[in-house]
Amino acid sequence: MQTETRTTVDRVTTPGGVAVSVLRFSGDISSTSRDSVIGAWEGLNGAGPTLLDFTKVEYINSSGIALVIQILMEAEKAGRKVAIFGLTPHFQKVFTMVGIAKYAGLYPDEPSAAASL
């Protein structure tokens, strides 16, 4: 049984003083997550660099990966930097295999991801 996707938005400041949006996901990410994931992304209204936090994500299927790719493609078009953190070792491997690591750095934790921006 799938766990509902929840997305919250936080604002943090990097050690260098850059304001960053953080999309914090929890639950499972799949095709039913579109409104939560893409809605939160669109709600940022193009506001600067962004971190994607997967520390509380239990499962991501291929449709969920497609949502992440959609965010990254839109970010690239707009010239926005995105970094990802909190993936399990399995999903770090999957994200690398499907090419996500070409569009966003994959980091073990929030401080290292924020420092990359």
Would you list the domain boundaries of the chain? 22-102
**How many other CB atoms are found less than 10 A from the CB of residue 74?**
15
pLDDT tens for each residue of 63-114: 999 999 999 999 999 999 999 999 999 999 999 999 999 899 999 999 999 9
Q: What is the dihedral of CA 65, 67, 70, 71, to 10 degrees?
A: -100
Rounded to the nearest integer, the mean pLDDT of the chain is: 93
pLDDT tens for each residue of 26-35: 999 999 999 9
CATH 3.40.50.2300 for the 22-102 domain, yes or no: no
